């Protein structure tokens, strides 16, 4: 049978009208075969998520919403999403958005299943959405799904309990406490008078040339990572003396069966440090580059590159640690992690800066030289004058005049 173009178009239009006017799935016989009119009914929303094996979550970067921490998704809202996904038996796929408008637009366009951000309910007057799940009633804010997705909204409402947010926050505090790392704490010096730092000094000496580092700097980093405990393991999954993540171990060719073995663990760490040294070749001063590498070892190179971009944008030197570290701290604030030059969002900057400072202090101790603080915490990132190292013992000019009058006698 020969069909002209007008006939085909009319048939398609009739099918679309028929599908929109019926909620139940039906099959229509057309000139080119059988076509199902199964509409995107809300009754199949949860079933589709379970069939696909993943729930697509639209969110924003931030400490409460979502951020990457050593390869793990973190943030109160994200962790709550993970629990709901586990309840459904699916995984979570995060789609980061730049702002609320993008989130709402993508939800309405069917590009996500759920907005896991506390949205003001006023948006319900402008967008066809349903508020459901996690909520802060006192502020009139809640998660949202598409207006057509009643089943998912009902499932979320039936699952969610107000106490869940408090439970998640308590779990996060535990994760970031010292108790979350299973390790024995050994002395930072095995025999100070003999110059022996640890039982692993021969291994640090052996593999430090691979990293192009002083072996004592590797020892200082190792103490910060694991306190010289080869069986140490963090909640995030970092293992061994140098706290290597399983994914990093695979990248470095370190079998998981050897990840707690001191020599392969230190050898892999030296190889990783060498790779980071190469990736930061634009930092030409070697001593400065090592500080950037320490920070990247802790937080990942992408976040450090974000901080360098912020420093450059604000007229600072992106290749000086004292100029970049304030922006690593700044990536904890919306003004910085929402800046257009930032590609990887929020990070726990104070943790990374503290990590570098503690290793520098330990390294100075191992070398037997005075430690001079960089004064990063004293820095105001809104200022552009040259940063001076901060020493708490240095007399400083008072910021306010004394309100009492002192009489000379």
The pLDDT tens digits of the residues spanning 298-343 come to 999 999 999 999 999 999 999 999 999 999 999 999 999 999 999 9
Asked if pLDDT for residue 29 goes beyond 50, the answer is: no
* φ, ψ of residue 340 in degrees (nearest 5): -60, -25
Residue 191 three-state SS: strand
Task: Give 197-251 pLDDT, tens digit per residue.
Answer: 999 999 999 999 999 999 999 999 999 999 999 999 987 789 999 999 999 999 9
Q: Return the pLDDT at 251.
A: 93
Kindly list the structural domains of the chain, giving each domain's residue range(s) and its CATH number in brackets, ordered by start: 43-176 (3.40.190.10), 183-378 (1.10.530.10)
Mean pLDDT, rounded, of the chain: 82
Q: Under a CB-based contact definition with an 8 Å cutoff, are residues 66 and 96 in contact?
A: yes
More confident residue, 276 or 185: 276
Q: d(Cα 52, Cα 407) in Å, to the nearest integer?
A: 81
Q: Return the pLDDT at 9.
A: 55
Asked if pLDDT for residue 274 goes beyond 90, the answer is: yes
More confident residue, 68 or 260: 260
Q: What's the pTM value of the predicted model, to 2 decimals?
A: 0.70
Q: Return the pLDDT at 70.
A: 75
Asked about 225 being catalytic, the answer comes back as yes
Catalytic residue among 42, 151, 225, 357: 225
Q: What is the average pLDDT across 123-141?
A: 90
Q: Return the pLDDT at 371.
A: 82
Largest CA distance in the chain: 118
Q: d(Cα 372, Cα 352) in Å, to the nearest integer?
A: 18
Q: Under a CB-based contact definition with an 8 Å cutoff, are residues 358 and 379 in contact?
A: no
Q: d(Cα 266, Cα 211) in Å, to the nearest integer?
A: 10
Asked if pLDDT for residue 365 goes beyond 60, the answer is: yes
Task: Give 102-119 pLDDT, tens digit per residue.
Answer: 999 999 999 999 999 999
pLDDT band at 178 (very low <50, low <70, confident <90, very high): low
Residue whose entry in the numeric block shows the structure tokens 């967008």 = 127
Q: d(Cα 367, Cα 195) in Å, to the nearest integer?
A: 9
Our CA dihedral for 154, 159, 165, 170, rounded to 10 degrees, sits at -160
Q: What is the average pLDDT across 183-208?
A: 81
Q: Return the pLDDT at 24.
A: 47
CB-side exposure of 255: number of CA atoms within 13 Å?
Answer: 3
């Amino acid at each position: 049978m020969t069909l002209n173009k007008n006939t085909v178009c009319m048939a398609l239009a009739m099918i679309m009208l028929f599908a929109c006017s019926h909620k139940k799935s039906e099959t229509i016989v057309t000139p080119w075969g059988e076509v199902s009119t199964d509409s995107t009914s809300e009754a199949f929303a949860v079933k589709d998520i379970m069939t696909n094996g993943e729930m697509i979550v639209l969110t924003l970067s931030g400490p409460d919403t979502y951020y990457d921490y050593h390869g793990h998704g973190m943030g109160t809202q994200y962790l709550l999403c993970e629990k709901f996904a586990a309840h459904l038996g699916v995984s979570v796929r995060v789609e980061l958005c730049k702002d609320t408008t993008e989130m709402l637009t993508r939800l309405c366009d069917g590009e996500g299943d759920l907005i896991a951000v506390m949205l003001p309910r006023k948006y319900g007057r402008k967008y066809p959405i349903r508020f459901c799940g996690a909520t802060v009633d006192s502020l009139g804010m809640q998660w949202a799904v598409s207006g057509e997705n009643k089943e998912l909204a009902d499932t979320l409402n039936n699952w969610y309990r107000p106490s869940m947010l408090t439970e998640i926050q308590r779990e996060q505090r535990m994760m970031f406490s010292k108790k979350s790392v299973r390790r024995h704490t050994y002395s930072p010096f095995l025999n100070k008078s003999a110059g022996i730092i640890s039982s692993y000094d021969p291994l640090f000496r052996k593999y430090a040339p691979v990293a192009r580092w002083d072996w004592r700097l590797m020892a200082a980093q190792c103490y910060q990572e694991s306190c010289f405990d080869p069986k140490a393991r963090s909640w995030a999954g970092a293992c061994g003396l140098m706290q290597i993540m399983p994914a990093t171990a695979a990248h470095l060719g370190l079998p998981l069966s050897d990840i707690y073995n001191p020599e392969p663990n230190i050898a892999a760490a030296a190889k990783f440090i060498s790779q980071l040294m190469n990736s930061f070749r634009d930092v030409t001063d070697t001593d400065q580059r090592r500080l950037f590498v320490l920070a990247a070892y802790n937080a990942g190179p992408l976040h450090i590159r974000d901080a360098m971009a912020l420093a450059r944008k604000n007229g600072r030197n992106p290749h000086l640690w004292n100029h970049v570290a304030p922006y690593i701290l700044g990536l904890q604030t919306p003004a910085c992690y929402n800046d257009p030059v930032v590609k990887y969002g929020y990070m726990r900057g104070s943790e990374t800066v503290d990590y570098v400072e503690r290793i520098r202090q330990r390294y100075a101790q191992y070398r037997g030289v005075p430690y001079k603080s960089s004064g990063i915490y004293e820095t105001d990132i809104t200022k552009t004058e040259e940063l001076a190292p901060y020493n708490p013992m240095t007399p400083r000019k008072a910021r306010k005049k004394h309100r009492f009058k002192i009489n000379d006698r």
